[in-house]
Structure 1
Amino acid sequence: MIRNDELYATGLKQRRAMFGPEGAEDQVEHTTDLNDKLQEFVTRSCFGDIWQRDGLSLTDRSKITFAMLIAQGKNHELRVHARGAIANGVSIHELREVIVHSLLYCGIPAAVEGMRALEEVMVEKGIEFTIDGESAA
């Protein structure tokens, strides 16, 4: 595997910014013969290429990714990308609205899983559950 090209370096930098060392170096350092092609693709093609394209900001890409993961019911990845979205500057309020909007197009169970993932990440990060005072109204 060639790891010293520009796309790979850019992808590793993006993974680090979004997911910290555990989502970048730890993933790469624990690459095996079994998962090396997967890790290479994710680092180079996903984060080194697609996430770097003009046309959408990182916050927009994060919101879209979060929504698509809700739609697909990818619960583990929802948590990963909730963390990444927060790191990319997406507010908790915006993530909550993505989840609420998903009620219409993905259904209640998918929205509940999205909310569960967001709540777990908020607890993990010590983020308050009060967003806009809507629940007190």
Structure 2
Amino acid sequence: MTTLEDGRRILAELMGADYVATKDKKRNSFNEAIQEYSEEVCFGRTWARDGIDRKQRSIINIAMLTALNRPNQLRHHIEGALTNGCTVAELKEILLQTAVYCGLPAAGEAFRIAEEVLRERGLLD
């Protein structure tokens, strides 16, 4: 298997086959280079490495994406974190930690996005 194939497999495991199918439908001659880069380098090389598990990688990504104020990617990585075994309580603590180091506006937005994902999955009342 190539790193690109590994990346696509890992991406599907993290985000779901529907996510990959939707991403493939949006692929075109302009964006295919960045999509392949993401699949090969991000998922096929980095996410495939030993050293830390997927749950730990998800925790790191949630904190970084909160700090960078990247709501669309944050949504996907919150979904992936749940797939990787993060609990609602852990997500709350991760996001509370970001309030201290990233600022309240960034953390507040991250909490809002997380609440949407958790409600969609029936994990919040």
Give the TM-score category using the shorter length: over 0.9
Identical residues among aligned pairs (%): 34
Give 1 or 2 for the bigger CA radius of gyration: 1
Give 1 or 2: higher helix fraction: 2
Alpha-carbon distance in 2 for matches of 1:117, 1:30: 23
* Equivalent position of 1:12 in the other structure: 8
Q: How far apart, in 1, do the equivalents of 2:99 and 2:26 lie?
A: 37
Distance apart, 1:18 and its partner CA: 1.1
Aligned residue pair count: 125
Q: Is the 8 A contact 1:16 1:25 kept in 2?
A: no
Secondary structure, in 3 states, of the residue corresponding to 1:24? helix
Task: Verify the 8 A CA contact 1:18 1:88 in the aligned structure 2.
Answer: yes
TM-score after normalising by structure 2: 0.94
Of residues 50, 68, 75, the one that matches 1:72 is 68
1:114 aligns with 2:110: yes
Structure 1 stretches (4+) deviating beyond 3 angstroms? none
For the aligned residue pairs, the C-alpha RMSD in angstroms reads: 1.2
The amino acid that maps onto 2:30 is: L
- Offset at residue 25 of structure 1 (A): 2.8
**Deviations along 1:7-56, whole A, 9 cap, x unmatched?**
11111111111111232232124310110011101111101110111111
Distance in structure 2 (CA, Å) of the matches to 1:25 and 1:52: 21
Gaps of 5+ in 1: 130-137
CA contact (8 A) 2:58 2:80 kept: yes
| CA distance in structure 2 between the partners assigned to 1:35 and 1:117 by the alignment | 26
Tell me the TM-score normalized by structure 1: 0.86
Q: Which runs of 5+ in 2 are unaligned?
A: none
